[in-house]
Structure 1
């Protein structure tokens, strides 16, 4: 005679919900952990149902990648000085990728979404304001992009514990005659990733500003 328990209602299945769950799954397990079956189980639907909203797993990855760039604050106003605008853009970009470490390895995909393309457009427009055109614009763009990506991938993939780093530094001290600079400057103990990125970006922008003035 007991009344049947009402079924728990699930939020409607939409592309936005699929992408949000894909981002969460990627954050937890990385790119190897994302399968359409795992994603369907997480959402509480069948795999076939997912394909009503997305065509392939690659589409899910592309949408998830672009979604994290939609989390960024708005780009600085167009009249911001070009150097300040680029610094703010790249700092926010790095923050987003470190929040979602899987993303840094996927930015060479052939399909780039509108959120990411908007950042690239802003970057090049700032460099154009600085006076770059043609091959010089291409070189300046890739210099900044490569610095950002190299620094971010290195930080996201760094897995040495404090004990490991101290042991490595002791080995350098033991061989200080062979590696005097690394030993004296405690190469393996430096862990100010954020400060180093900001200072390095300043060095890169100094060089670019000098090229723009020529």
Structure 2
């Protein structure tokens, strides 16, 4: 999608690409990616599929554009000397909030991400890690670790409906309790046993990741002193 030139000219229909993508995001938020088709999108826009194809060639193009549009909601921390940990924490928490507002999105983030909004936030993440003193091969590992953590968290929360959570958790607790001799650690400490505060758990996990990154920086600096 992002490697093809955009189509423009005097004969272009009045419906804009931005309007198409806004409606696509609304449809995705309401019904999920499986329900998105070019025909249904055209119906919501009150037009024909031919008009859509002037702006986008395939459903995949629509998904690429929709993903990039929602990434604009992830605020890039302003310059202010708060430090690399605070900046990355703000970015990752903002990213998680967007994934939870648009629960269809986490499952699609394995796609090539070359839109301007995605690249701007990825650039910020990499640049901030570089400023913190992270170099290859640790740079890519750190960026991937942070990205995969927030995507995985968003995906798990999106695929476990809140309405079913308590019933499923109770059944899981009973199963682990009944098999506690086989799974003693899980029966005593597993994530399905204790009451789950997802926000607190996410924050703790992110802190551990950043602690590991900071330890890596400290070790490198120690080697060169």
Structure 2-normalised TM-score?
0.84
> Where does 1:63-212 land on structure 2 (aligned, <5 Å)?
63-77=65-79, 79-159=81-161, 160-185=164-189, 187-189=191-193, 190-212=195-217
The unaligned stretches of length 5 or more in structure 2 are: 1-13, 220-225
Contact 1:76 1:89 in 2 (8 A): no
Contact 1:68 1:96 in 2 (8 A): yes
Output the CA distance in 2 between the equivalents of 1:106 and 1:168: 28
Q: For the Cα contact (< 8 Å) 1:82–1:126, is it kept in 2?
A: yes
TM-score by length of 1: 0.88
Larger displacement relative to structure 2 (140-149 or 75-84)? 75-84
Task: Show CA shifts across 1:175-196 (max 9, x none).
Answer: 2232223223363143211110
CA drift at 1:83: 0.7
In our comparison, the structure showing a higher alpha carbon Rg is: 1
* SS of the residue 1:170 aligns to: helix
- Judging changes above 3 Å, is the alpha-carbon distance between structure 1 residues 111 and 202 closer, same or farther for their aligned structure 2 residues? closer
Distance 1:185 1:119 in 2: 36
Relative to structure 1, is the Cα distance of residues 55 and 174 closer, same or farther in structure 2, using a 3 angstrom cutoff? closer
The number of residues matched between the two structures is 203
The answer to which of 36-45 and 26-35 deviates more is: 26-35
Q: CA deviation at 1:111?
A: 4.3
SS at the partner of 1:108? coil
RMSD: 1.7
